Structure 1
Amino acid sequence: MDARDGLLFEGVPLHTIAASVGTPCWITGANTFRQRAKTLKQAFEAHKLNMHLHFAMKSQDHQAVLTVLHHCGYGVDIVSGGEMIRALRAGIQPEGVVFSGVGKSDEELRLAIEKNIRQINVESAEELFRLNNIAATCGKIARVALRVNPDVDAKTHDKISTGRAGDKFGIEHNQAIQLYAQGASLKNIHLVGLAVHLGSQMLTAEPFRKGYSRLADMVREIRSMGHSVESIDCGGGLGICYKNEIAPSPDMLAGVIAETLGDLDVELSLEPGRWLSAPSGILLSRVIETKAGSPSFIILDAAMNDLTRPAMYDSWHGIVPVAPTALSTPTAPWHVVGPVCESSDIFARARFLPENLKRGDLVALLDTGAYGSVMSSTYNSRPLATQVLIDNGKWAVIRQRQTIEELIASETVPEWLHSHHA
């Protein structure tokens, strides 16, 4: 916070961006991304782990961000054919691409095989056999890891837990050993190892330790049956501090991986998403109106169609006034809401913000770089917001605000409706 310019991000006053491109506006800090990417890498190096890092691009898929991470030596973890094309377009090499996800179509699998990507994480016996057939028709051999569901509770929000027995992801760990033996004999499959992803926003070591220990036991059992296990994909899930959580350091995760998987002589990979992207982004918004009452409301020009997380996950995001005077002003509890016609379009309840916040004032919603702009929709015919990249004092628009004309342009009305006009 600067005494004259108010809130800054990577040295740029936010009010100058708002004045230039309007609000709502997504702002990504390239150098914040860079520093976090470096910190994560160094944590594994300190534990003597040769870790392949693949950014989970579902959390933030803009070409500029992918370019920054590519320069940091990161590959990507993708969950669709569209993400694959996006990653390759940003200069990421096929050997840096890992394809995860529970519902890959024949077309997507064919594309992955033809592009010769690093690895396809298979989620079921059915997918494994389907992939073998597709690879045969392409005349190629697919590099595959079996994604195991280790039945470990990640102790996180129900909607972002992925490694429990009832979750839709992965192969039940008892079946996986048997399937590995079957997969090893398939002609067009090269089984490289196992993959796991326990959940997202995980804040303690225990679920990681439990999941990875279970995986280590499986590796030993598969090897005792005479099969080779070359690699383990450790997934992602490292949590951050949104509110007052005690967020673990990358060193914790590196330590747990070294302790549980370090002696297996396997190639290791990790799919960090939120940890890199969430603190690297903010959503800048302006107050449309205030409404006095009990409670009192602040109505922003950003809404749940821009940032879905609070409506979908009851997630907490810091909200900070941009004006320099905000620091010395008494606060009052406000409900902070958007203009969308849904009761769930609410960013915060009884949040203490300056009592004199008024129409036209700017606020920043913090830690919105993960699952923010990527989950935006055009609900209520609200065009997609501008995106801006900041890099050590420089800034540029990296996606123009969509116009309502662009939004309508892709729609057509069948000819017969015109002829029915009375």
Structure 2
Amino acid sequence: MADEYTGPEPDLAALLAARPALSMNAREGLSFESVPLNAIADKYGTPVWVYGAGSIQARFNALRAAFGAENLPVHIHYAVKANDHLAILSLFHRLGAGADVVSIGEFLRARRVGVRAAEIVYSGVGKATAELEAALAQGIGQINVESAEELDMLSGIASRMGVVAPVVLRMNPDVDAGTHAKITTGLAENKFGIAAADIPALYARAATLPGIKPRGIALHIGSQILSTEPYAKAYAKATDMVRNLRGQGLSVEVLDLGGGLGIGYHDEPGLNLAAFAATVRREVGDLRVKLLLEPGRYLVGPAGLLLASVILQKRTEKRFVVLDAAMNELMRPALYEAWHGILPVDPALFHGAATPADVVGPICESADCFAQDRALPDLPPGTRVALLDTGAYGAVMSSAYNARPRAASVLVSGGQAQLITPRQTPEDLWADEILPG
């Protein structure tokens, strides 16, 4: 499982109790940040993504407060890949966050909402020449270089442009983050980063290359990490590396701590922020460097849900609940075997007797399954359900597979729901296609 949860499966009441933004009212049913989900479904249809501005702000403030309690300045750069909607990016910009991007498209999205180029970190193993040219032309704040080959390529580009690229070398610390194999990034076998043994020589060479200004090192060991232990191991290696480089007379101004902070997809609390901040303080707090952090899932995952309707219940040897949402909306269960809580919106059904059911979508793939043998009440056709904690890696990974128009998106703020992405029509799917003559 992507979240490495080993406890018992929580019942509906436990799922609800663990999520303060959700409430169940006997008359209006399930609400998110005080807005009834039935009202959203009535107005905008299903499936529909629902995000909570209050939840995002609360999580951002909690993260900032955890480091404040350690008297540790940390610059938060929101990882755009988790949810790149302009409304979400604009909210983070207003909260004071920079951006961590992995493509020129994400870079331009962040710029579109007012994020200064100097506040953007460009990560990723395969930055194309045109992408680097565009980022350098606008004054990108930091480029995380992931190989010697990329460093040479960047030197050539920056030299031709007559600019200096602010570079941080991404070190692969070879630390097991204890997470799903498909979202670990800090092992030697992964495609990410530069082997720690190669960093000193490459950093020294970077200092001599034209168009390059080495500023520090970065690391990122994986996603959905629930323990501080792998962070402590990785950051201890980073501390040794910083001291090693400085011992060679090299300047190190920046330490990019990466992200990967895990959330509770069941009824567990997720990564302890106070313990994480204390770990950062203990391992790197005395290095006299600018500290960067790049969280994504932690900030937006629990701040979103996917609202869907039941098409029918099919009964064979088991019960299948077929939704109008599918794997083209929410890919994580098919891709990572990820677990998402599911709550009925109707208050009467919430308290109904639960029996095992597979919750599936209508796509012609066996992988189009959100849950297996999940304890749920009877869910008649037209019943609405909320798939929880889908604010991260949900809509951003969605597609139009099976010629299914993309779902609408709604942002809840101050007790009001506002449409931020209209639902596609079938005609939208082929509007930009060309039939040859």
Given the two structures, how large is their TM-score scaled by the length of structure 1?
0.97
Residue identity in the other structure for 2:56: F
**1:149-160, aligned counterparts within 5 Å?**
149-160=172-183
Structure 1 stretches lacking a partner, 5+ long: 416-422
1:277 pairs, out of 300, 315, 328, with: 300
What's the counterpart of residue 427 of structure 2?
405
What's the counterpart of residue 168 of structure 1?
191
Distance of 2:328 and 2:106 partners within structure 1: 21
- Please report how far the alpha carbon of residue 246 of structure 1 lies from its aligned counterpart in structure 2 after TM superposition: 5.2
- Please report how far the alpha carbon of residue 392 of structure 1 lies from its aligned counterpart in structure 2 after TM superposition: 2.3
8 Å contact from structure 2 (residues 343, 350) kept in 1: no
Q: Judging changes above 3 Å, is the alpha-carbon distance between structure 1 residues 316 and 269 closer, same or farther for their aligned structure 2 residues?
A: same
2:286 pairs, out of 263, 282, 292, with: 263
RMSD, aligned α-carbons: 0.8
Which range moves more in the overlay, 163-172 or 182-191? 182-191
Distance of 1:336 and 1:174 partners within structure 2: 48
Distance of 1:297 and 1:121 partners within structure 2: 46
Cα distance per residue 1:177-207 (max 9 Å; x no partner): 1100100111211111000000000011111
What's the counterpart of residue 247 of structure 1?
270
Find out whether 1:301 has 2:332 as its counterpart.
no
What's the counterpart of residue 420 of structure 1?
none
What's the counterpart of residue 206 of structure 1?
229
Q: Secondary structure at the match of 1:219?
A: helix
**1:224-373, aligned counterparts within 5 Å?**
224-245=247-268, 247-354=270-377, 356-373=378-395
- Please report how far the alpha carbon of residue 70 of structure 1 lies from its aligned counterpart in structure 2 after TM superposition: 0.7
Distance of 1:32 and 1:278 partners within structure 2: 10
2:171 pairs, out of 148, 172, 176, with: 148
Distance of 1:308 and 1:280 partners within structure 2: 18
Which range moves more in the overlay, 280-289 or 247-256? 247-256
- Please report how far the alpha carbon of residue 63 of structure 1 lies from its aligned counterpart in structure 2 after TM superposition: 0.6
Aligned residue pairs: how many? 414
Cα distance per residue 1:228-266 (max 9 Å; x no partner): 100100000110100244522221211111111001100
2:399 pairs, out of 364, 367, 377, with: 377
Cα distance per residue 1:325-358 (max 9 Å; x no partner): 123211111100000000000000011111x210
- Please report how far the alpha carbon of residue 111 of structure 1 lies from its aligned counterpart in structure 2 after TM superposition: 1.0
1:180 pairs, out of 177, 182, 203, with: 203
Structure 2 stretches lacking a partner, 5+ long: 1-23
Distance of 2:271 and 2:423 partners within structure 1: 36
**1:78-97, aligned counterparts within 5 Å?**
78-97=101-120
Distance of 2:267 and 2:207 partners within structure 1: 47
- Please report how far the alpha carbon of residue 300 of structure 1 lies from its aligned counterpart in structure 2 after TM superposition: 0.2
Which range moves more in the overlay, 280-289 or 320-329? 320-329
2:149 pairs, out of 126, 133, 158, with: 126
Distance of 1:257 and 1:386 partners within structure 2: 39
Find out whether 1:192 has 2:209 as its counterpart.
no
What's the counterpart of residue 410 of structure 2?
388
- Please report how far the alpha carbon of residue 302 of structure 1 lies from its aligned counterpart in structure 2 after TM superposition: 0.2
What's the counterpart of residue 243 of structure 2?
220
Runs of 4+ in 1 over 6 A off after TM superposition: none
8 Å contact from structure 2 (residues 30, 36) kept in 1: yes
- Please report how far the alpha carbon of residue 93 of structure 1 lies from its aligned counterpart in structure 2 after TM superposition: 1.0
Residue identity in the other structure for 1:350: D
Distance of 2:170 and 2:349 partners within structure 1: 49
Residue identity in the other structure for 2:201: Q
8 Å contact from structure 1 (residues 26, 282) kept in 2: yes
Q: Judging changes above 3 Å, is the alpha-carbon distance between structure 1 residues 217 and 270 closer, same or farther for their aligned structure 2 residues?
A: same
- Please report how far the alpha carbon of residue 293 of structure 1 lies from its aligned counterpart in structure 2 after TM superposition: 2.6
Distance of 1:91 and 1:162 partners within structure 2: 30
Residue identity in the other structure for 2:262: G
8 Å contact from structure 1 (residues 203, 246) kept in 2: no
Cα distance per residue 1:87-139 (max 9 Å; x no partner): 00011111210000000000111111111111000000010111011011111
Distance of 1:243 and 1:64 partners within structure 2: 27
What's the counterpart of residue 36 of structure 1?
59
Q: Secondary structure at the match of 1:55?
A: strand
Distance of 1:255 and 1:70 partners within structure 2: 26
- Identity, in percent, stands at 50
